[in-house]
Structure 1
Amino acid sequence: MDIFSLSSLTAFVICELLAGLVYLKNPKNKVNISFAVETLLIGVWTLSPYAAGVSRSNEEALLFTRFIYIAAILMPPAFLFFVYSLTGIHSIKKERNISAFFYIVSVFFLLNSFNPDFIKDVEPFGLSFAVVPGTMYYLFSLFFAITIVFGCIKLFITYKKMAGFKKKQLLYILIAFVTAGIAGFIHLLSAYGVKEMYPHDLLVISFAAIVLYSIVRYRAMDVYIAFDKTMAYSLSTGLLTALFIVLVLAVTNVFSTFVEIHSFQISIFAALFIALLFNPFRNRIHTVIDRVFYKKSYDYYATIQQVGSTLTSMFDSQEILQFTGNIIYEVMGLKSIYLLSAKTGGGYEVVYHTSKKIKRKKNKAQPPDPEESIRIGNRSGIVRYCRKSGDIIIRDALPEIEASLERDMIGKIKDDLALFHAEAVVPVIVDNRLSVLIVLGEKLSGDMFTNEDINLLNTISDQTAIAIKNAGLYKDKVHSEWLASIGMMSATFAHEIRNPLTSLKTFAQLMPEKYNDAEFRDTFSKIVEGEIEKIDGLIGDLLDFSTEKKSSRINNFNLVSLVDETVDCVRKKMELEKKKIDIRKTYNGDKVYMSGDAAKLKQTFMNILINGCQAMHGEGVLTVKIKPNGKYIDVTVADTGEGIDTGDILKIFDPFVTSKDMGLGLGLAISKRIIEDHNGRINVKSKLSKGAAFTVSLPVQN
């Protein structure tokens, strides 16, 4: 079998398989039917060289050729029918009239297919036979050329109007049929004595390869093939192996015939040849497959890991949605993305949006303005579908699910997708409730969403759902703790304020009876003043704790003088001279200038000093140290009291936590906030029965 016959038979088999594949994927679709018919006819016509090559006589070759040319005659109208179905212009009356003319002409040639005026005879031509054209053959050649050019122009006009991956689908279909048309022209030219330098059927094989590529890459004609990467690698490796075997056999044949080298020597050479070149070629082919069929700009597993690790540390729903939107937008390379969240009153409202600024034609609909409040109702097509199925919506896959949906559902889904210029919608389901809709625009590359993309989107959707649920639980926990704090504060405040009020009430009741008693009046005035100060102090603590505003009273002061004044103030207030508490001061120098709110810092040191004195129960040593520590100044207050339990150290700065019989437990919480407002920090070290040491570190500012 010569190369012309081999390529002819190969092209026939490939075309028939391709026709069957496209038809079986959607046997009710006009586009699929017309393409299958056209490809089937192309395949039959490609048998011409093979049939002529196996013919035993001139008469047999002529008979085969005339039968095969029936397919060639039917090809032009079949091609037009495919073009009209694909472009949707078959509904235009003018176009129908034009196509009717082509059909009538084809019928004329069909009726004359065995007329000697069409094909007179066949004659040997190179390794095969060539047609001896009659008068009608010249007309058919012209008709064939006009039909192919006319159909390709219609495809090109439609291609110019398309956008995105639909445009790419049509581009490859156009290239494929231009290639097939050139193959047809080369075959027709052989009837006029133009010798083929190579088999024209190789172009037909290229036609099939281009169509198959458009199917695998862009789902042309709504045909979807799950072409696994491992399968692609295996197939490419198999084809490469077959190619090497053919090359080795060819080389063996040449060397054995012309050079007279023994087959054993050739086998050794072939083994070395395969060993040296097979792996580099295989790796190169795998790289090409990755770039052409599975090209991507993201690492699937790295993206999942990044999303999972980030979302686990997020407890704010808005931050979660913003992160999810950003990661999908960047990873997928989208033109736009919208996130719509369920609202209490019903419906879904856009809470996040980002997009590339792309110039659109004025006559094209614009996506919704992200600055406006965009809301879709519960009766929306995408909402109803996502609630019912929980599946991702891919615009190109809608024909596959159309049969399983209600009549008006597909239309509503398409309207919703058109509103956002969307290609896909990803539902986020939280506790069996549609919580968020992630609406994805077209990819910047114009590519379709692959299986890997869909798997990634499903995984991100699940992780987002878990994060949103955790955020809700965290919010509930914080709210519960806030309510508990309010309750604790109320109870503590009521208890603390009741004691001075009880004293005031008692003395007020005794006032009428003992008003003339001078001693009673003196005692009454002192107690009333003291109790009012207590109440005022409680209210002051609450106000200090409740305000989150930083102090605006910034002044320069000497920290050593401030601490020393505070120590003296505490000594007088606590009447330490009457107790067995000794204060030891160790200052490293007498001047350390700083800027800040001196009054607030004095309050902080006073709280710490008073706590230290109270922890020693009237007996012990209170040590106050000031020493530089790099860019900070450390002020340490250490007592020799009972110390603090290890488990309680982390809690002592929480509000309403106290080990004393009196007080709200706000002193250290307020002190910590004041220190942090001054960009400082406070640390605690403690040993039970030996005491505790509080160290305040403040940044030095000259």
Structure 2
Amino acid sequence: MNIYLVSSVLAFTVSCFLSLIIYLKGSQVKSRNATILIILCAGIWCLFPFFAWWGWPDNTLLFTRIVYLVAIFTAPAFLNFGLTILDTKRLPKERFLIRSSILISAFLFLPFFYSSFFIKGVKKVNSYFSIDGGPLYKLFIFYFGAVCIYCFYRLYFGIKNSNGYLRNQLKYVFIGFLLAFFSGLIHFLTSFGLPEIIPHDFLVVACMFILTYAILKYHLLDINIALTRAGVFIIVYTLVLGIPFGLVGWGKDWLIYFLGQNWYWAPMLLLLGLATCGPFTYIYLSRKAEERFLKEERHAHQLLKQASQGMVRIHDKKRLLELIVHITTKILGLSNAAVFLLDENSGNFKLAAVRFKSKYQYSEVIPQDDPLVQLLATQKEPLVYEELKLANQDLSSDTPNQLKEIDSQMRKLKAAVIIPAVSNARLLAFLVLSEKKSKKMYSPEDLSTLWALSYEAALAIDNAFLYEKEKLRLAEQSRRQALADMAPGASHQFNNRLATISATTDNLLDLVKNDSQGAYQDNLLSNILEGLEIIQKEVAKGEQITKAILQKAKVKLEFDKVDIVKVIQNALNLIRIRRTRESLGGAKEPEFVFNYPKDLPLLTLCEGTIQDVFENMFNNSYDAIVIKHKRNIAPLDYQGKISVDVTRNDNSVIIQVEDNGIGIQKDNLRKLFTDFFTTKATSEKGVVGGSGLGLGVMRSFIEEHGGTITAESEYTQWTRFTITLPLNFKPPK
């Protein structure tokens, strides 16, 4: 067996294998196109010994010149690759050098590739072959060396001036291609009569293995996928190369007998046909193998994508974030997951949701100036702990570097991956993911899917922020509007109280003045007591009005132990003040019925928001009664009725508010709690068309108290709302 031929075929095969891996990795591999180009150029150039042997002696020169069609452009390909991976290709000077090298290859060497001015012949020395070069071939050697040396010079300083992950990556590239350069140097020296002691193509094989190792080491490709593809590749190309070689080895005499001196065309055409079909066969079989191997993983990715698409419809931040940690933990099979959310007041990131809080003790707050937060805000890409560890390997212990602090923070968080959620170039949150229970690494497909999920999550979080602000704005606007609306009614009520007090006081003064002689002393005392009782009642009524208005004017949202009966009574008092007889549009004053048990415990509530809910509910009932009267649906003696029934069970208090107004149509009933949806018309006198909080916001207020709200109705007859509030509610911190 000729070891030089084995090394030639092996180098070409490995280069094809590595090129296919990088190509199938898509955009996950940096500098994909430039890397594939230089690897294929080097691999094809390595076929020189094989083609020289195959065509010996008649067609060796022809085959060698065909191989050198590619070899001529190997130096520009290497220069392009080196400057691309250094990210300096865009500089004007570097672009000029790349273009110049391509032009030199194309116009100085390519026109003469078939002439003896470039390659005069091929010499066979023992078991290897060497080039008998013409004058231009020596110039080509100098040109090739100069371009490669310049590229190595740039790579060397790239290593020196970089650190961490990039530095390690450049080291592997530098060492690998330095071996390939020495392989080319040995090849060139044989043309000057120096012996080739070892097959130079083995150095190219070593180069390819170093690059493959770097790809696997830096998680550019999952090892299981790599082995699957490698196995398929070996099987396919063993057949692609083995069948023609087998035909030559065992059927050469038979081919000469039938085809004569042109016998070699049969295996060459067969190789050409198999080589054409080989890539398609490889891609088809590898995809089929991966579909079976990655079926479960791809199903998980599909579930994550489906879940992410519905996130923007969730306006409750707490529910949204709990959903995110739940689905990622369950679908990907993680040990744990947590979300840190931006606190707009402090700028810090606070723990907002965690799947298993008892299992891991997370930091509650991460400051905005923490290196981890700064890195996520700057690079806005997933952060993988394994890659961070590799980046830290080159840092000396006395070298200050933020990467060490980030490494420490990720270990505290037990984070395998951190996914930032960015909206409008602002970091809103980040998702901390632990390792998988299966101990498998996160694949690029995992990271890509999680990155897409974080994009949808960022939009949903942004929407939740906006919704929360809008909800508070609407509540404040509604409160101010209600205070403005009740001003005339409150003035009227206070005038009535003051008029009664004034008349009673005048009457008592007249009695005292007229009884200066004490003739009616006994009657005077009883009249004074009666007058004082009237004044006391009117003062109490005025106090009720004042308390209700002051409560309505509260803006600060605080949870406290509250008597729900008093909250409902306050809301009723405000409605009585706000809805004057003129606002009823000719309808009779509604009858109020309020039933409640006397042993109700205090509830943990935000009194202002819950009072808003009941006030808006009673206001809606008023409007329903007015509309029913205006549309002449009700009988002539129709009087509106609003009833409130409060009951309790072991876990909660149930409040039912029912009116006998216009009711709600069936189609509208299912949309009733949609944000900003209204059933009110604004053209009917006495109807406050859509100026309240809206049932969507009212529901969110109830849910913030751990409660629920439902609606039932029969159009033209009645509407009933049922509110449930828990007895042992714990407000959020």
Q: TM-score range by the shorter chain?
A: 0.3 to 0.5
TM norm structure 2: 0.41
Structure with max Cα Rg:
1
TM norm structure 1: 0.43
